[in-house]
Chains A and B, each alone.
Chain A
Amino acid sequence: MTPLAATENLVVEYRSRGRRLRALDDVSLALAPGESLGIVGESGSGKSTLARALLALVAPTAGLVRFKGEDLATLSKAALRRRRRELTLVFQHPAASLDPRLTVGESVAEPLTVHEPALDAAARAARVAALLERVGLDPSHAARRPHQLSGGQCQRAAIARALITRPELVVCDEAVSALDASVQAQIVNLLLGLMRTEHLALVFISHDLAVVRRIASRVVVLYRGQLLESAPRGALYERPRHPYTRLLLDSVMTLEGRPSRAAGTPPDVESPFARPAGCVFAGRCPHVLARCQSERPPLETTEEGATVACFRWREGVAR
């Protein structure tokens, strides 16, 4: 079956003051229709760049991004615009992603003006009202401006906007990270419900492992632009293979209040422009070998269908 969305050896580089920054370095992944994929990474991991590459908001320097089998870079402007109705994005900061000068209703309706211009104002308003109810907002909120709504309400509106064209894939870039815990929980429930009823595929990007675990059925771990591990949820959380995944899991604190095992790991002090010859995690890895510094470990597949880029994964270093 053709994956709904996929990247093949994707490389994205930015130029900054004459230097090149490799935000994504040879990342390949695939997503089936209706599947939820979690992308976990910290700052500098390239996760936001990956979100934008999937939506063709940023052009690949090398490699491909496919949607429904087509290479997005080869599409004409008009064809790409048509694809945008099937492929939408929810941003991190709820109020910032809505134009402060427009009412919520106008922001939510905007994709319709682009993709379904035949609709008249009344029809659009009806669609907006129906969708606002679906995401848990009172339809009267359509007349309000973003600054009159709470963070959770703004994010619901942003989700409504992402859904109004009935897309097949929604990319959520840290969509719940800026929300309070109680509101976060509401939005997570909303996304899970919508995935079921709208048959959506979801790419959920976050640094919060616990939230990703609840939403995604498969998880990919990025570090400094490289894919270090990819596994089905159960395997990743219970039997991680890569030392970095282990570090991430160890960093999560609990109400028990015990200091985390991750505390002793040296911080990442390398410049984001640095391109190490070997494994990108070698500088911080507690299990580093000499080989790790000079050779980049290839992606290998485990018996559980996971992939991991580490020379020592078979030894169970990530337990």
Chain B
Amino acid sequence: MKLGISARAGLGILALTVLLAIVGPFFSPWHVEQLDWARMAAAPGLAGGHFFGTDRLGRDLFVRTLAGVRVSLSIAGLATLVSLVVGVGYGALAGYAGGRVDALMMRLVDVLYSLPYVFFVILLTVVLGRQPTTVFLAIGAVGWLTMARVVRAETLRLRSLEFIEAAVAAGVPTPAILWRHVVPNLAGVVLVYATLTIPGLILLESFLSFLGLGVAEPAASLGNLLAQGAQEMESAPWMLLVPCVFLVTTVLALGFVGEGLRDALDPHER
């Protein structure tokens, strides 16, 4: 599979970011929740080993930002996995079944889509409390919807292709057709779409955390780091800039990779 330059660059940047997020904290003496009384709201520099500076409470931003990257990426990654399994299964079934079953299934998707989302998240938070699991559930609950729609559309297109008809004519049972013929031919679309979903989910998590609904203090996520940074924007701009740079870079890199995958896998481009 040949990937273009921007996609390869994106992949490289992503790999670096993940590597940094995992390994980086070992290079710093500071801990995520550790307070440095001597240097509160300090600017980035080498003083005291605070490469990215500290926040209002004196917590090291280098370690906290990397922790935030880990949390945001894990939530988005896991939610994408859920959307893959649930979304692909649901969409392929609806698309292949067609008729009333399809109509019913997609109406359900439409209803879930039209739920007032923030309201739903607030309810969930009230019931389950502010933990990463809640955030994960909140994001996972809607992440699969668009995947289901995309997969259904693609399945509808595949269903009319002759090789599917040939399998039916040969007497292949429906589950085998779905598993052996439909799903593998969906792989291209699904892979591309999943890669493009992750940035969206990261932004969603950031949005929720920014609103105060997502990951709770003192844990760090890109979202709540951004929220704090926004408050201190004028006096300590690095508190906003650092998580911002990481967020933008990660989202852009994922975008490039997704586009590159699409170009590489799209059969019409061949």
Report which A residues bind B (CB closer than 8 A). 55, 57, 80-82, 84-85, 88-89, 91-93, 96-102, 107, 110-111, 114-115, 147, 158, 161, 165
Report which B residues bind A (CB closer than 8 A). 161-163, 165-173, 176, 180-181, 184-185, 187, 267, 270
Assess the B165–A114 pair: CB atoms within 8 A: no
Q: A84-B169, A107-B163, A161-B166 are in contact. List 20 more A-B contacts (CB 8 A).
A: A57-B169, A81-B171, A81-B173, A88-B169, A89-B169, A91-B162, A91-B165, A91-B166, A96-B161, A96-B162, A97-B163, A98-B163, A99-B167, A99-B184, A100-B163, A101-B185, A111-B170, A114-B170, A114-B172, A161-B170
Assess the B161–A111 pair: CB atoms within 8 A: no
Cα–Cα, bound, A110→B162 (Å): 15
Given A57-B165, A96-B162, A88 and B185 contact (CB-CB distance below 8 Å): no
Assess the A101–B184 pair: CB atoms within 8 A: yes
> Residue B181 contacts which of A82, A91, A93, A99 (CB distance < 8 angstroms)?
A99
Cα–Cα, bound, A82→B180 (Å): 20
Chain A residues within an 8 Å CB radius of B184: 99, 101
Chain A residues within an 8 Å CB radius of B163: 96-100, 107
> Residue B171 contacts which of A85, A92, A93, A158 (CB distance < 8 angstroms)?
A85
Cα–Cα, bound, A81→B161 (Å): 21
Assess the A110–B167 pair: CB atoms within 8 A: yes
> Residue A57 contacts which of B168, B172, B187, B270 (CB distance < 8 angstroms)?
B168
Chain A residues within an 8 Å CB radius of B187: 101
What are 12 A-B contacts defined by CB distance under 8 Å? Answer: A80-B171, A81-B171, A84-B171, A85-B171, A89-B166, A89-B169, A96-B163, A99-B181, A100-B267, A110-B167, A114-B171, A158-B166
- Number of CB contacts from chain A to chain B under 8 A: 60
Max chain A CB contacts within 10 Å: which of B161, B167, B171, B184?
A: B171
Max chain B CB contacts within 10 Å: which of A92, A99, A107, A115?
A: A99
- Which single residue of chain B is at the shortest CB-CB distance from A87? B169
Assess the A55–B169 pair: CB atoms within 8 A: yes
Cα–Cα, bound, A102→B170 (Å): 16
- Which single residue of chain B is at the shortest CB-CB distance from A94? B162
8 smallest A-B Cβ distances: which pairs?
A84-B171, A97-B162, A81-B171, A111-B170, A96-B162, A99-B163, A89-B169, A91-B162
Cα–Cα, bound, A84→B161 (Å): 20
> Residue A99 contacts which of B169, B185, B267 (CB distance < 8 angstroms)?
B185
- Which single residue of chain B is at the shortest CB-CB distance from A81? B171
Chain A residues within an 8 Å CB radius of B176: 114
Assess the A110–B185 pair: CB atoms within 8 A: no
Quote the shortest CB–CB distance from B88 to chain A (angstroms): 16
Chain B residues within an 8 Å CB radius of A55: 169
Given A99-B163, A101-B185, A115 and B171 contact (CB-CB distance below 8 Å): yes
Cα–Cα, bound, A98→B166 (Å): 8
- Which single residue of chain A is at the shortest CB-CB distance from B184? A101
Max chain B CB contacts within 10 Å: which of A84, A85, A110, A158?
A: A110
Assess the B170–A110 pair: CB atoms within 8 A: yes
Chain B residues within an 8 Å CB radius of A115: 171
- Which single residue of chain B is at the shortest CB-CB distance from A99? B163
- Which single residue of chain B is at the shortest CB-CB distance from A112? B170
Chain A residues within an 8 Å CB radius of B168: 57
Chain B residues within an 8 Å CB radius of A158: 166
- Which single residue of chain A is at the shortest CB-CB distance from B267? A100
Cα–Cα, bound, A8→B187 (Å): 44
Assess the A110–B169 pair: CB atoms within 8 A: no
Quote the shortest CB–CB distance from A151 to chain B (angstroms): 14
- Which single residue of chain B is at the shortest CB-CB distance from A91? B162
